[in-house]
Structure 1
Amino acid sequence: ITRNLYVAINATCTGNSSQKYVWIYEHRTWTGAQSYCREKYTDLASVRNETKHQQILNVTHYHVWIGLHRNRLWSDQSNSSFTYWLPWTQGIAAQPDNGISVPGQRGSQHCIAVALQYFGQWTDESCFASLPFFCYSGELIYPL
């Protein structure tokens, strides 16, 4: 029996639009997660401020994909000045490090996850890792 867990979170965006975050507890690569979100919702979650970041942290205690990618733009092509990168901690390089401290991954970490074991700070990961993820539904801010 396959069971999928979906959790919806209502979030108010700036202006008159609203977004709903949806946590998908299904392990996929970053690209697989993006395709799923675009097919069923709007896109992978864009975390543009501390309030939205906290909404994600309130739902899950897993390492999860968000919509930030290689060029540090959101999956929906929007940008944001808000970041929450993991700073240097004992044994772990400051993020993003593009895999510099991970054997076999140097230069290949282009996708961003919220690392719940590090208090929700962001890490760059191999896009081929399989993680649960957050989608959002609502008004598309930038056309694809």
Structure 2
Amino acid sequence: KSNPLFHLPTNHLKPISLLAWSLLLKTMTEAQRHCRENYKDLATIRDLEDLETLKTLKRPIHSVSFTTSRAWIGLYHYLDNWRWSLPNTSYYKPGETEFRRWDSGQPNNYLNKEHCTIMQNTKGLWHDAMCEHTLFPVCFDVRGEILKLLRENVLLWGFWRPL
């Protein structure tokens, strides 16, 4: 049974992303599975505008800002390269797969065991982390003209850019 919280017509705007903050702690593998089953994938941050939008998200728990806590985003280390978990290249414009916002001294691959990425602190800076940690995932999806918001245990946030 699905009753959307609201419908938002967006026929004059191009949908870029719907971000969903899950309130369920998950490892990176569990987070990616959750995001792929319920949305598109873990959050992909393509530029500073995406980063700034993500930094404005509010977690419903204690009404604290997204970036005062740590959360999984979809960047991971594989074969000496950092890659976004969404492999569909049609989603990206030139250069967008290369955007990074590492904190000072990051990534450091501590003990050669940090192959996943978390976003934390008010600057939205990233750290590499062990994929086995349990953190909140941030998922994203691309929607059509009508955005319907209703999920259990999630906070949804849609944002658009003009056509």
Partner of 1:81: 98
How many equivalent pairs are there? 114
Partner of 1:122: 126
Aligned partner letter, 2:119: V
Partner of 1:36: 34
Query: Mapping of 1:76-115 within 5 angstroms?
Result: 76-77=86-87, 78=89, 80-87=97-104, 94-99=105-110, 106-115=111-120
Q: Which runs of 4+ in 1 moved over 2 A?
A: none
Long gaps (5+) in structure 1:
1-9, 11-15, 88-93, 100-105, 140-144
Name the SS of the counterpart of 2:83 in structure 1. Answer: coil
TM-score (norm 1): 0.72
Long gaps (5+) in structure 2:
1-7, 9-13, 58-65, 90-95, 144-163
| CA offsets 1:61-93 (integer angstroms, 9 cap, x no match) | 210100001131100125612110011xxxxxx
The higher relative CO (CA closer than 8 Å, separation ≥ 6) is in 2
Partner of 1:62: 69
Q: Does 1:45 align with 2:43?
A: yes
1-structure distance, mates of 2:15, 2:32: 22
1-structure distance, mates of 2:120, 2:34: 21
Percent of residue pairs identical? 29
